[in-house]
Chain A
């Protein structure tokens, strides 16, 4: 038997008894073929791959990250709690030294779920990896630095929303250009909030980008940025809908490409996101990914219908990807030289107004957010939100990890005032607290 370099914990949870609707692409069978492939390749029997049973995430763990309108139970079902719990377990297994790396191969996915939840967006209700990152900080302290590399074909807009003003998190998303695919965001100009400017890194790729382009981005942009930022943990939000056979996207990645990406990135924790080519892509990508995580030979993993020209990209496309790489890297290098007052304006608060569409549930949300511009901490924020589904406006006050005493005091005063304010159906208080 091949000797593996790494012990890999696998939290495989296909949720065989859950789907949004019977014909929905995010459905029971999504991971069935994957399980058969992993089983047939003997990976469940390999001594370096150990399977674990997921745990159920608590209200406390979910509320550390999310603000649910009107309440948590209205949106969060058992399936979401188990997907989030399984992701938390993946992190715990690594932290406790039980395994070297962990793969939360589970559904439903989470990277389109924002901080505020009125319903489901892009098949996501709660953000599994964001809940996990906040759990890690709860366990290990707020100084922890976590990098999330989102390789799903869709922009990881929910994760970006949650961490865009969070100096403890570096969020890198490579995805099909938002002008050609849901959710229509993730442009190079989206770079993060005043307290974490430059730590939101978007790499929009042209449709038809193949393995060559993706690996170029890894080599020229992602790895140098990680090398410089020196995170304590690297998380891969491993969407698999970049595959050439995926029915929802126009990208051209293959299982070999994914496996090479995994080897290069060497993530501590991998969390499945999208990927809807359940018979032609997921089984092969996941086998390659598991082998690469364990440090085993993956060179023989090939889709049965793969041909060399399937994933070949034109030289014009390669030149375009190279141009994007240069742009993103140049922006990263100059992030600290930017005049933040010019970007975010002067004054006490930075304001953000947004209309958010929940495609899965057909809900429109209107949101206004004010973030306190503070020299000593990322600043407290207040979010006013209402939606076509929950029309009564809600005021949510959220304080960041490592809040300064002055901001905490201000936030409390403001919360007390909003509680009295009859314009709002309720006032919600969110404050993450570290155990250590």
Chain B
């Protein structure tokens, strides 16, 4: 195969749901980690292409059928708390947090006569009329109003006029109602997502008193229809926006720009005096179990991650971060008889920076 194509394939890397990549060999040991790499690719695309310098922003990926939302807080993309969810089942596979809504350039349109408003999606209408489809879509509204140049504008216009006449409206009015509906539904979805995140349960007093600040300071958009709808969304949210370049292909760029990552899970038990790391087949003993702390567990996991990365041929100089950690006092009667620590650390998923896009901010 390599010879037929006349190119040499160096190393095949597989994208994971958390935006990192792993080697093909690793993917055979942990095949489940290959799920949900699609949304991760878009997000890594944004990280490779966007210039946004804000600490917190929302990523809006508008496609034909759906729009996917992701959240960046303090410069880091948020992860799902208990891993990726597939068909309602939590998998514990580390995954970037994304929310998908049935709203896109090819979504079906419904006119609600009582309220004189348009409702979009969640079903897909098929190809837009301007591209030979049978039913009008949000893309046709953008094309008819001259906000986008895709396909056959005359064909779309004719259909708008027909539908507007049936409803007793001017076609421009109807097409504008579609844009408004799209923006309204998109704004609601963003609000709902932040509402949901702000209701994530907190278990300590310090967190309840100082809940993490997650609200976005900017909107970063991608996907073919982003140029039309993201500025309108940003206006509704009173935020600056940016649309990444090569918007339609950002997904593929993200997959290409993602860097390898690898991690370990450390379990320590002070009652038994043991440390284990299943990924490395490592079993050790704690020298002074009584003095073992969360801090030490974290340091040990970090060192072991670097060792493991080096042994597996990864870039061991990349920053190691704590994916999750837990500290548990084992209590019998009223006495603490031991402590267990679980720390999961990983090389931070990285992307190669590629370039910036257009935005409404000067400078």
Contact = CB atoms under 8 A, between A and B. Distances in A.
Interface in B314-345: 328-329, 331-334, 336
B282 interface: no
Interface string A74-99: 00001100100000000000000000
A16 interface: yes
A56 to B, nearest CB: 7
B28 interface: no
B209 interface: yes
B209 A56 contact: yes
Nearest to B333: A247
Interface string A1-36: 000000000001111111000010100110010010
Given A12-B201, A52-B201, A53-B199, A29 B208 contact: no
A82 B209 CA distance: 9
Interface centre among A28, A52, A53 (most CB of B within 10 A): A53
Contact of B204 (A16, A276, A279): A16
Contact of B328 (A17, A32, A56): A32
B332 A279 contact: yes
A255 interface: no
Interface string A272-286: 000010110000000
Contacts of B4: none
A79 B205 contact: yes
Contact of A18 (B90, B199, B205, B331): B205
Nearest to A276: B334
Contacts of B331: 29, 278-279
A380 B332 CA distance: 49
A41 interface: no
Contacts of A167: none
Interface residues of B, number: 19
A15 B211 CA distance: 14
A54 B208 contact: yes
B340 to A, nearest CB: 11
Interface centre among B200, B208, B329, B334 (most CB of A within 10 A): B208
A23 B334 contact: yes
A45 B90 contact: yes
Given A23-B334, A25-B334, A45-B90, A53 B329 contact: no
A54 B200 CA distance: 10
A361 interface: no
A51 interface: yes
Contact of B208 (A23, A25, A53): A53
A53 B333 contact: no
Contact of B206 (A13, A17, A29): A17
Q: Is the interface of A mostly helix, strand, loop or mixed?
A: loop
A279 B335 CA distance: 12
Nearest to B336: A29
Contacts of A276: 334
B209 A78 contact: yes
A38 to B, nearest CB: 12
A279 B211 CA distance: 30
Contacts of B200: 53
A17 B334 contact: no
Nearest to A17: B204
B329 A28 contact: yes
A55 to B, nearest CB: 8
A23 B209 CA distance: 25
Interface in B183-217: 199-206, 208-209, 211
B203 A16 contact: yes
A35 B328 CA distance: 12
Given A25-B334, A53-B199, A32 B204 contact: no
Contacts of A17: 204-206
A1 to B, nearest CB: 8
B205 A51 contact: no
B332 A13 contact: no
A75 B205 CA distance: 16
Contacts of A78: 205, 208-209
A53 B209 contact: no
Given A23-B334, A29-B331, A279-B332, A56 B201 contact: no
A53 B201 contact: yes
Q: Ordered nearest first, which 6 A-B pairs have the shortest CB separation?
A: A17-B204, A51-B201, A16-B204, A78-B205, A29-B329, A16-B203
23 contacts: A12-B203, A13-B203, A14-B203, A15-B203, A15-B205, A17-B205, A18-B205, A23-B334, A28-B329, A29-B329, A32-B328, A35-B203, A45-B90, A52-B199, A52-B201, A53-B201, A53-B211, A78-B205, A78-B208, A79-B205, A82-B208, A247-B333, A276-B334
Interface of A: 12-18, 23, 25, 28-29, 32, 35, 45, 51-54, 56, 78-79, 82, 247, 276, 278-279
Given A29-B331, A56-B209, A279-B332, 4 more contacts: A16-B203, A29-B336, A78-B205, A276-B334
